[in-house]
Amino acid sequence: MQQTSAYYQAVERHGVTRFLEVNPLLRDGAFFYLCTLRYLFHQKAPEHAWHSSRVGQQVGLILDPSAAFAADLHDIGKLGIDEAILNSKQRLTPVQFVEMQRHNEYTRELLRRVEPHGFPLLSTMAASAHDYRRRRRMPITFPDRRRNDPYLAIVAQVLQACDAFDVFIHGRPYQPPIEFEEALDKLRQLRIEQGLVEEIRDSHRFRTRSVA
Ligand SMILES: [Fe+2]
């Protein structure tokens, strides 16, 4: 997958430069708030929290640290979802499914608060993991008003693909995992950008080798 120069300019604009402009005390407070949310998420729903962490690691091997940080927090809104739904061993009922989907708005709400304090676009990037996703039948895109931002479009696509891949190979409480090669084939059917599946394959191998 080819990152454009606009992508690198956006990393610079959204990342390092803005980071230096904020009040360090507020930035540290915001960081502490995020660490607390993350800690609570691991306490409440460890399986879901580890999934988020793995997606963050994988995105970090493909993109930049801001995108990895957002990916690590992309499911943090599940803090607002009933544990019975999060840990259900049965396929979710339509009502439960709708409730589960709401975690994306909670993610956006929880993360939006820190954006002015050194974490620009954090909520937008994190929530893009699930925004407008119709993984099985439609191409993965980033269709809201930011569709012309090449950085966010790439982040959304990589995050969605890494999220889907992790769910394939680790399963869900109600859904068994599938084999690595089969998961890659399923990703190829998602009409994602050329080369991204190979990057996911390589980064997964690298990641699992380095933690083994
Ligand atoms: Fe996820």
Residues 46-93: pLDDT tens digits? 999 999 999 999 999 999 999 999 999 999 999 999 999 998 888 899
CATH of the domain at 81: 1.10.3210.10
Q: pTM of this prediction? A: 0.83
Q: Poorest-confidence range of 14-23, 32-41, 55-64, 182-191?
A: 14-23
Counting Cα atoms < 13 Å in the Cβ hemisphere of 55 gives 33
Total domains in the fold of the chain: 1
* Cα 19 to ligand 1 centre (Å): 26
Q: How many CA atoms lie within 13 A of 136 on its CB side?
A: 1
Work out the angle at residue 53's Cα, subtended by the Cα atoms of residues 176 and 177, and round it to the nearest 5 degrees. 10
Report the separation in Å between the CA atom of 134 and the middle of ligand 1, taken as the mean of its atom positions. Answer: 14
> Does pLDDT of 134 surpass 50?
no
Regarding predicted confidence, which is higher, 17 or 80? 80
pLDDT at 9: 66
Q: How far is the CA of 21 from the centre of ligand 1 (A)?
A: 31
pLDDT at 4 (0 to 100): 62
Q: What is the pLDDT of residues 139-167, one digit of tens each?
A: 444 444 455 577 887 888 899 999 999 99
CA separation for the pair 197, 140 (Å, rounded): 13
Distance from the CA of 74 to the center of ligand 1, in angstroms? Answer: 6
Question: What is the span of the domain harbouring residue 57?
Answer: 5-211
